[in-house]
Amino acid sequence: MDSFAKRAMNMSTVVAARPLPENRISPVFRFAMLLPGGLVTFFLILFALGLVVFLAFRGNDGSLLGVGLTAENFVTVATDPLYWTVTLRSLVIAGLVTLATVVTAYPVAYYLAFHAGRRRNLLLFLVTLPFWTSYLLRVFAWKIVLAYNGVLNSAFIETGLWKEPTLAFLNTPAAVVVTLAHAYAPFAILPIYVALDTIPKSLLEAASDLGARPFTSFRRVVLPNSMPGVLAAALVVFVPTVGDYVTPAMVGGPASTMIGTLIQSQFGKANDWPFGAALSVCVMLVILCVVLVARGADRRFGSRT
């Protein structure tokens, strides 16, 4: 650490109480500091998303930004049963994945918050580590597990449980659910753990002193207090899964086409960018609804915040 920092740290104890009238930020510094983040957020995020919304209301003539001003893309999405089927399937798959990850992650987060003791940091480290490994490789791992001449089939035949390999694993919506639940499992633990960890211990002691059995105390004190974390976990799992196109392509087969697959093909083979943009807008609206529902639920449970 440099000497200036040390001096400032020593001084900090002395000046803590004094108000700082001269503590005003110079315009040049402010501008320089806001510039990189401002460019990225306004140009790459807001402007780019604005382009998607704009393109969704254009007709496809092969040019970059399309022609005219039309709601035809949305009419097609609303009237063609194919898009309803695929959207519904995406919602069901993402919903199941969210449910599975959150329900399986909760006990782990609970253990981390209340039982882990000295092993807590090591366990936290172990559950977050897969988060930083390649998503493509995690999905690929499931492809070799579930394949016809893959790990699961060969292991079952080797142990004599089955005589013939089965095709039933790969290329099913169930394979998509299992693979996505595994790929996004690390996302769910941290938000729930943080919520559980910040519950004041005195609350649990009070419940116990007032005669609550462990299960009652869990159901009426711990669970409601951890709901904000559960909802945050559900959201961070639901959002990436509902728009996923890699897992359906790798392990899902044609019966598991999801809305992300359709968007991707509009910008690839199908080459109808305005229609792909309209599908994207629909997905964002669905996510907005989910976020609003989660917010509402959070407010109902969130007496703590």
Site for another protein in 251-270 (CB under 8 A): 260, 263-264, 267
Buried b / exposed e along 169-191 (16+ C-beta atoms within 10 A): bbbbbebbbbbbbbbbbbbbbbb
Binding region for another protein (CB under 8 A) out of 71-79, 80-88, 152-160, 168-176: 152-160
In the set 74, 83, 140, 301, which binds another protein (CB under 8 A)? 140
Q: Using the Cα atoms of residue 152, residue 153, residue 158 and residue 163 in order, give the sign of their dihedral.
A: positive
Binding region for another protein (CB under 8 A) out of 69-77, 79-87, 138-146, 295-303: 138-146
- Nearest CA-CA partner of 103 in 255, 230, 272: 230
For the bound state, the minimum distance from the C-beta of residue 178 to another protein, rounded and expressed in Å, comes to: 10
Three-state DSSP state, 111 = helix
In the set 79, 134, 303, 305, which binds another protein (CB under 8 A)? 134
Binding region for another protein (CB under 8 A) out of 20-28, 95-103, 166-174, 297-305: 20-28
For the bound state, the minimum distance from the C-beta of residue 132 to another protein, rounded and expressed in Å, comes to: 4
Site for another protein in 40-79 (CB under 8 A): 40-49, 51-52, 55, 64-65
- Nearest CA-CA partner of 254 in 114, 15, 82: 82
Q: Which residues contact 126 (CB under 8 A, 6 or more apart)?
A: none
For the bound state, the minimum distance from the C-beta of residue 71 to another protein, rounded and expressed in Å, comes to: 19
Q: Does 14 bind another protein (CB under 8 A)?
A: yes
For the bound state, the minimum distance from the C-beta of residue 38 to another protein, rounded and expressed in Å, comes to: 6
Q: Does 99 bind another protein (CB under 8 A)?
A: no
Q: Does 96 bind another protein (CB under 8 A)?
A: no
- Nearest CA-CA partner of 97 in 169, 184, 168: 184
In the set 177, 195, 204, 237, which binds another protein (CB under 8 A)? 204
DSSP 238: H
DSSP 226: H
For 23-172, where are the alpha helices, taking DSSP H only?
27-38, 48-56, 72-79, 81-114, 120-128, 135-146, 151-158
In the set 167, 205, 255, 285, which binds another protein (CB under 8 A)? 205
Q: Is 108 exposed, middle or buried (0-12, 13-18, 19+ CB in 10 A)?
A: middle
Site for another protein in 211-250 (CB under 8 A): 214, 217, 235-236, 239-240, 242-246, 250
In the set 97, 147, 180, 231, which binds another protein (CB under 8 A)? 147
> How is residue 289 written in tokens?
């609804």
In terms of phi and psi (left: phi > 0; alpha: psi -120 to 50; beta: otherwise), the region of 272 is: beta
Q: Which residue has the tokens 């976020």?
A: 291
In the set 88, 155, 292, 293, which binds another protein (CB under 8 A)? 155
Binding region for another protein (CB under 8 A) out of 6-14, 79-87, 167-175, 297-305: 6-14
For the bound state, the minimum distance from the C-beta of residue 227 to another protein, rounded and expressed in Å, comes to: 19
Q: Which residues contact 95 (CB under 8 A, 6 or more apart)?
A: 238
Site for another protein in 285-304 (CB under 8 A): 287, 291
In the set 62, 81, 118, 137, which binds another protein (CB under 8 A)? 137
